[in-house]
Amino acid sequence: MQIKNNFKINKISVNQFYPRYMRFKIRFHLKKNTMAKEVKSVEYGLEKIFEGAQDFLPLLGTDYVEFYVGNAKQSAHYYKTAFGYQSLAYAGLETGVRDRTSYVLKQDKIRIVLTTPLTQDSPIHEHLRKHGDGVKVAALWVEDATSAYEETMKRGARSFMEPTVEKDEHGEVVRSGIYTYGETVHIFVERKNYNGVFLPGYKEWKSDYNPEPTGLKYIDHMVGNVGWNEMNTWVKFYEEVMGFVNFLSFDDKQINTEYSALMSKVMSNGNGRIKFPINEPAEGKKKSQIEEYLDFYGGPGIQHIAIATDDIIKTVSQLKARGVEFLSAPPHTYYEAIPERLGEHMGMMKEDINEIEKLAIMVDADEDGYLLQIFTKPVQDRPTLFFEIIQRMGAKGFGAGNFKALFESIEREQQLRGTL
């Protein structure tokens, strides 16, 4: 880290955002910390970083996320155009599948599957009628899908799919699956003996239209919303059935606004590659975002998916230029307070606060570093699923310092929808 560049950034933000009597204090603090450690984007390896996790599966990462959508062809075009995904694979009538069509998209380590039913009596059709577009499957990459199924089932999981061997000319994949909250499913995918494009039954999807990627790298975490007083039930499920650890907890005293509140606990496997925060509503003056989700989704489900980037300013700039809509910006006073809130981490920060404010990106810090994050508006007509873009510069947290600003922004959207 070059001290000169950091000092320039911090000097600009101090002069612009702080009254004169505060400037000396902040500059003195920054001067003391100019030799602070340099922080880099977080990369999760396979080593264990959460000692409380049992890791009897174990999990290697997110394999894919499958969305049930009303029109997979049009949804694929949206995700390619707006988010910069690339065509990867296809399954449908042309590949011998008679009841559904699936388009698979890829960007860096992320794979998403967009599936739509072809028949009226399809269970996918019923899922869409009840929930609208949303996440059905959070598939997890494992070394042994049979063992993962047996280990979770003997600990109380509910079966979705027994271990099944799927083969084609490129080898074989073993998949199994269990239910989690609501109708959401975890499918365990073992692909060590497979070198095809995606899975047996899919063919390569070649397209002349592949917009440039936007810098999205991998799925950082997926957040689930559950009903009243159900959070601890699902915390126990992830602890006992899947061997996760609860490494962060937030109650309604920490997550609240004038009108609403919620509670949240963050579950992780041992290596930190799979993180599932779980939210439940709490009492407030008006309807919280969690209650709104439960009403429109028709029960528990995945509320948002957080996707990591190494350059959030570049990524968000591109997403906005492509038509992705984000929540409204926090007030100017939020950005005025950043140097004080970040404290010593301000000396590590490489981004210009002016640029961050222009894009409505939020900033927070913990003992390991800082992070930057921003949230889209819902990506379908029902106010349910949305995305988070996150850049972790050492920080392992979830932006607790941004909760109030974030939820007030969501409440402004709820006010417009008449659902607050």
Q: Which domain holds residue 328?
A: 216-417
93/238 same-domain check: no
The helix (H) or strand (E) run that includes residue 394 is none
Is there a domain that residue 33 lies in?
Answer: no
Q: Rounded to two decimals, what is the model's pTM?
A: 0.88
138/257 same-domain check: no
Going by their DSSP bridges, the two strands 159-168 and 185-190 should be labelled as unpaired
pLDDT by residue (tens digit) across 205-237? 999 999 999 999 999 999 999 999 999 999 999
352/240 same-domain check: yes
pLDDT by residue (tens digit) across 288-301? 889 999 999 999 99
> How far apart (Å, rounded) are the C-alpha atoms in residues 209 and 207?
5
165/251 same-domain check: no
198/244 same-domain check: no
Is there a domain that residue 30 lies in?
Answer: no
Show which of 204, 231, 254 is a domain's final residue. Answer: 204
Helices (H), 38-195: 72-83, 123-131, 145-153
pLDDT by residue (tens digit) across 27-59? 333 333 434 556 677 778 777 878 888 888 889
pLDDT by residue (tens digit) across 284-332? 877 888 999 999 999 999 999 999 999 999 999 999 999 999 999 888 9
Q: How many domains does the chain have?
A: 2
> How far apart (Å, rounded) are the C-alpha atoms in residues 186 and 180?
7
> How far apart (Å, rounded) are the C-alpha atoms in residues 38 and 40?
7
Is there a domain that residue 42 lies in?
Answer: no
Output the CA torsion sign for 408, 413, 417, 419: negative
190/265 same-domain check: no
CATH number of the domain enclosing 316: 3.10.180.10
134/80 same-domain check: yes
Show which of 182, 204, 226 is a domain's final residue. Answer: 204
Show which of 171, 204, 237 is a domain's final residue. Answer: 204
Which amino acid is residue 169, in one-letter code? E
The helix (H) or strand (E) run that includes residue 319 is helix 312-321
159/304 same-domain check: no
173/251 same-domain check: no
238/330 same-domain check: yes
248/128 same-domain check: no
223/371 same-domain check: yes
Is there a domain that residue 38 lies in?
Answer: no
